[in-house]
């Protein structure tokens, strides 16, 4: 199976997961907001953010484990894969223990003046925190199995598990809606149980299908150098991920400190909407990443560069196809989606969507840097604008600026300045040519996005129902993406794949 076919097959599975997530989350969020109320929903987000902020441990370790397994896959070394998996298991058990201690210690800080918790809700907030600690610590021990699925490009099981995840969460929301007990506490307990169940299923599946995970032999495969490589990469990746998460959650805490939990609810909704839309292009990134790392492991440098250029452009175009129309019609979308829209939600969503578009290019560039393995200097450099976001936000709020300035700072420092840093280090570490990048990526993107924004703004002014206007804008913009955004070679590749699939379908029917 060719690289393009593998990417498309995996992406289709991931889009099935995404479609289910979007459809179910639309109703789940509305039900939860109605069942819990804006204050409790904001409280869950701010307490959950405290766990998420420390959850960078899981994210960084997952990236490290997947990177080394995919790299060994590219080298074709099966024994090396077993060695990496077993040593990763050892590392994750240690990280789980350290995380438990960190989260317990952090609770004394969060619940003693840092978080602005409504009177009488302190006990419930601590119960929510405890449930999330349980879920986070257990999830760390399952990270090597998730990494194994990604390295083997098994997006089918990943997508099916994701669909089950959102359906379980929808059922939980319905249960919370129709009970008379403490709803927020019940919701936290059921979410922790649901998280544990899905991760147990993932572990069972991997042990049944992948030899390297079937028999854990840590003593046999223990290698000090391998542990050092994984922990070193994960440590610097942790600096990168944690600074970004601290930047966002730091902004969330500062907003909570100056404006209270209802504005946190607005930020939580904006973050969720942005996350759902970013999932559209993130699916493409997820499908491409193991192929990118395997190409690096096989020393196919030209393939790595070509995949990077094409992926930066295509992932951005894919996200913008949904993001731009949604941005122009954000207020009616929120009014339809939510029973009551918290203040500042629309402006928060707009800024987060713009930031997501800019970040999309940087996401691919970071994957290219990670595939090389040398991320130390990059991780230090990217930390600086992330920290500046928090400092600038606190100073501006202290002098009376509106809440949305927190996200404007996020857009300027993390997305724009951070994007420039990613481009510089992808050139320095991975050999990305900046002139070729500007010609093959930035120029087509600008040439496509400018007319699309103009056309969408004109359609917005039409005297028709906004849903019809939204659909029209998406349909009208398709030819621009095709004519301006894609090269002739990319068009031929897409047409050949469509033609091949049609032929296969016709052959199967006969």
Q: Give 162-216 as a DSSP string.
A: HHHHHHHHHHHHHHHHT--S-HHHHHHHHHHHHHHHHHHHHHHHHHHH-HHHHS-
Tell me the C-alpha distance between 387 and 373, whole Å. 24
Please report the pLDDT score of residue 294 as a whole number: 85
Please report the pLDDT score of residue 416 as a whole number: 92
Give φ, ψ of 461 to 5 degrees: -80, -10
- Spatial CA neighbour of 249 closest among 115, 125, 395: 115
The answer as to whether 444 is a domain residue is: no
Q: What's 242-290 look like in SS3?
A: HHHHHHHHHHHHHHHHHHCHHHHHHHHHHHHHHHHHHHHHHHHHHHHHH
Q: For residue 23, give the 3-state DSSP assignment.
A: helix
**Degrees to nearest 5, angle at CA 131 with 386 and 345:** 45
Please report the pLDDT score of residue 217 as a whole number: 74
Beta-carbon contacts of 149 under 8 Å, excluding residues fewer than 6 positions away, are 157, 158, 202, 206
Give φ, ψ of 41 to 5 degrees: -65, -40
Question: Under a CB-based contact definition with an 8 Å cutoff, are residues 465 and 336 in contact?
Answer: no
Q: List the structure tokens of 305.
A: 């560069």
Please report the pLDDT score of residue 508 as a whole number: 44
**Degrees to nearest 5, angle at CA 108 with 107 and 114:** 85
pTM, whole model, 2 decimals? 0.75
The answer as to whether 127 is a domain residue is: yes
The answer as to whether 504 is a domain residue is: no
Question: Residue 462 gets which letter from DSSP?
Answer: S
Q: For residue 236, give the 3-state DSSP assignment.
A: helix
Please report the pLDDT score of residue 187 as a whole number: 81
* Tally of domains in the chain: 1
Helix (H) or strand (E) holding 299: none
What DSSP assignment string belongs to 331-366?
HHHHHHH-SSPPTTHHHHHHHHHHHHHHHHHHHHHH
Tell me the C-alpha distance between 457 and 477, whole Å. 12
The answer as to whether 336 is a domain residue is: yes
**Rg (the chain; Cα; Å):** 23
Question: Residue 463 gets which letter from DSSP?
Answer: S
Q: Which residue has the tokens 């966002």?
A: 248
Q: What's the maximum distance between 2 C-alpha atoms anywhere in the chain?
A: 72
Q: For residue 403, give the 3-state DSSP assignment.
A: coil
Tell me the C-alpha distance between 317 and 474, whole Å. 12
Please report the pLDDT score of residue 510 as a whole number: 46
Q: List the structure tokens of 100.
A: 């438990």
The answer as to whether 505 is a domain residue is: no
Q: At what angle do helices 183-209 and 3-54 cross, to 10 degrees?
A: 140
The answer as to whether 247 is a domain residue is: yes
**Which of the residues in the chain have pLDDT under 50?**
505-510
The answer as to whether 496 is a domain residue is: no
Question: Under a CB-based contact definition with an 8 Å cutoff, are residues 382 and 395 in contact?
Answer: no
The answer as to whether 445 is a domain residue is: no
Q: For residue 76, give the 3-state DSSP assignment.
A: coil
Tell me the C-alpha distance between 181 and 165, whole Å. 24
- CA distances, 364 to each of 154, 439, 441, 470 (Å): 20, 17, 12, 29
Tell me the C-alpha distance between 217 and 481, whole Å. 51
Question: Under a CB-based contact definition with an 8 Å cutoff, are residues 29 and 266 in contact?
Answer: no
- CA distances, 64 to each of 210, 237, 267, 367, 420 (Å): 19, 8, 30, 11, 24
Tell me the C-alpha distance between 257 and 266, whole Å. 15
Beta-carbon contacts of 89 under 8 Å, excluding residues fewer than 6 positions away, are 144, 216, 218
Structural domain span for residue 279: 3-432
Question: Under a CB-based contact definition with an 8 Å cutoff, are residues 264 and 252 in contact?
Answer: yes
Please report the pLDDT score of residue 506 as a whole number: 45
Q: List the structure tokens of 472.
A: 């029209």
- State the burial class of residue 435 (Cβ atoms within 10 Å of its Cβ: 0-12, 13-18, 19+): exposed
Question: Under a CB-based contact definition with an 8 Å cutoff, are residues 307 and 493 in contact?
Answer: no
Tell me the C-alpha distance between 317 and 481, whole Å. 7
Please report the pLDDT score of residue 56 as a whole number: 64
Q: In terms of C-beta distances under 8 Å and separation of at least 24 residues, what long-range contacts does 205-208 make, across chains too?
A: 205/157, 206/145, 206/148, 206/149
């Amino acid at each position: 199976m060719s690289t393009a076919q593998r990417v498309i097959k995996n992406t289709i599975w991931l889009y099935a997961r995404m479609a289910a997530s979007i459809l179910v989350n639309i109703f789940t969020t509305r039900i939860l907001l109605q069942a819990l109320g804006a204050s409790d929903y904001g409280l869950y987000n701010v307490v959950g953010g405290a766990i998420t902020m420390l959850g960078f441990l899981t994210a960084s370790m997952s990236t490290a484990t997947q990177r080394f397994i995919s790299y060994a896959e590219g080298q074709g070394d099966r024994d090396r894969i077993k060695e990496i998996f077993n040593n990763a298991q050892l590392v994750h058990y240690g990280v789980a223990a350290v995380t438990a201690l960190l989260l317990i210690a952090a609770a004394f800080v969060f619940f003693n003046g840092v978080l602005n918790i409504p009177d009488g809700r302190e006990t419930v907030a601590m119960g929510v925190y405890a449930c999330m600690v349980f879920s986070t610590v257990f999830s760390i021990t399952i990270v090597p199995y998730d990494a194994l699925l990604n390295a083997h490009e098994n997006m089918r099981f990943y997508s099916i598990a994701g669909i089950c995840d959102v359906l379980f969460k929808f059922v939980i929301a319905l249960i919370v809606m129709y009970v008379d007990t403490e709803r927020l506490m019940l919701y936290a307990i059921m979410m922790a149980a649901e998280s544990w169940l899905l991760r147990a299923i993932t572990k069972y599946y991997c042990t049944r299908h992948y030899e390297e995970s079937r028999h854990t032999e840590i003593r046999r495969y223990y290698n000090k150098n391998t542990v050092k490589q994984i922990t070193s990469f994960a440590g610097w990746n942790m600096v990168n991920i944690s600074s970004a998460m601290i930047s966002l959650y730091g902004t969330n805490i500062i907003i909570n400190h100056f404006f209270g939990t209802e504005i946190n609810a607005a930020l939580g909704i904006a973050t969720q909407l942005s996350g759902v839309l970013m999932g559209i292009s993130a699916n493409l990134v997820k499908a491409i990443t193991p192929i990118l790392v395997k190409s690096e492991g096989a020393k196919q440098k030209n393939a790595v560069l070509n995949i990077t250029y094409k992926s930066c452009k295509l992932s951005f175009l894919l996200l913008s196809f949904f993001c731009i129309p949604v941005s122009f019609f954000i207020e009616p979308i929120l009014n339809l989606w939510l029973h009551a829209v918290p203040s500042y939600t629309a402006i928060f969503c707009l800024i987060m969507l713009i930031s997501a578009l800019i970040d999309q290019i940087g996401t691919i560039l970071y994957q290219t840097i990670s595939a090389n393995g040398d991320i130390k200097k990059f991780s230090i450099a990217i930390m600086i604008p992330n920290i500046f976001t928090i400092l600038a936000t606190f100073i501006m709020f202290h002098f009376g600026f509106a809440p949305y300035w927190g996200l404007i700072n996020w857009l300027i420092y993390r997305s724009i300045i951070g994007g420039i840093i990613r481009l510089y280090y992808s050139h320095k570490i991975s050999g990305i040519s900046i002139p070729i990048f500007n010609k093959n990526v930035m120029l087509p993107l600008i040439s496509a996005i400018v007319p699309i924004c103009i056309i969408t703004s004109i359609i917005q002014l039409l005297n028709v129902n906004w849903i019809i206007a939204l659909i029209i804008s998406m349909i009208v913009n398709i030819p621009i993406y095709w004519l301006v955004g894609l090269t002739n070679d990319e068009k031929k590749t897409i047409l050949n794949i469509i033609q091949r699939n049609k032929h296969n379908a016709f052959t199967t029917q006969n």
